[in-house]
Each structure stands twice: as C-alpha cells, then as structure tokens.
Amino acid sequence: MRRNHSQSKQSGQVALIAILIVSAAVLVVSLAVSSLGLNEMLMGFEGQQSERAFQIADTCADEGVLRLRRVYDGEEASYSGGTLTFGSDSCTIAVTVAGSNRILDVTSTVNSKINRKIQTVVQVSPSFQVLSWQEQP
C-alpha cells in the first residue's frame, strides 16, 4: 500500500507542476495581450491630443489673420501676437514684419507636451491677402 500511496503522491506533484506551468503560460499570454491593448489605447489618445493641438493652432492662426485684418481696416492700431488659452491648453502667436508681409508663427500646446505649429504669411500692402498657410514640423 505504501507503494501506491507514493505513486499517487508523485502523480499529484506532477499534476500540480503541470498546472503551475500552464497557469504561468496563460498569465504571460494574458499580460502580453493586455500590454498590446494598452499601447493601442495610448497611441489613440496621443493621436487625439495631436489632432486637438492642430485644431487649436489652426484656430489661433485664424485669430491672428483676423487681428491683422482689423489693423489693415483701421479698426485696431497694431497687432504683434499674443497667447490664447483654451482651458489647460494654449497657443502662442508671434508676428514678424517682412516688408509688406506679416509672418504669423503659431504654436499650440496640449497637455503641456504635445505641440503643433502653423506658419501663415499675410500680405498687408497694397491689398490684404493670405499668401500661405502651412503646418510646420
């Protein structure tokens, strides 16, 4: 009888080790799948925040052109740029004079780390017109 009990004990140990190995493998696979899902979610969030940064930069470029237009129409004395805030996000508009053109360099910041830039060139003399509007790297 002792022999059977010993064999039964060994069989139980082998089964327990097999269960532990299978459980470890399932855990590793589960963690890998979770990690991939988390990475995809983070990439989607960053893409969404980057799009928000672009929309803010585009809106600020519009504001800069509007303010320059008001100067051209005599409604405002001058415009040299500034900072606009949108909750915790912001954009900075810098205006550079280049002869009869004004160069608007707009930088938006979302979550204090995602930036997008747009440069707009506006002719203010002899007529008012937007010459270019480009996203910058």
Residue 102 · residue 93 · CB < 8 Å: no
The whole-angstrom separation of Cα 90 and Cα 70 is 23
Which residues pair with residue 81 across a beta bridge?
A: 94
Tens-place pLDDT, residues 73-108: 999 999 999 999 999 999 999 999 999 999 999 999
Residue 120 · residue 95 · CB < 8 Å: no
Note the helical H segments in the chain.
2-72
Tens-place pLDDT, residues 8-41: 777 778 888 888 898 888 888 888 787 777 777 7
The whole-angstrom separation of Cα 82 and Cα 85 is 10
Specify the CATH number for the domain of residue 117.
3.30.1300.30
* Confidence category of residue 1, pLDDT binned at 50, 70, 90: very low
The mean pLDDT value for 41-68 works out to 92
Q: Is the predicted pLDDT of residue 4 greater than 80, yes or no?
A: no
Residues 6+ apart with CB under 8 A from 81: 64, 92, 93, 94, 95, 104
State the residue range of the domain holding 76.
2-136
How many domains does the structure of the chain reveal? Answer: 1
AA identity, residue 42:
L
| pTM attached to this predicted model | 0.72
Give the per-residue pLDDT at 9.
73
The whole-angstrom separation of Cα 48 and Cα 51 is 5
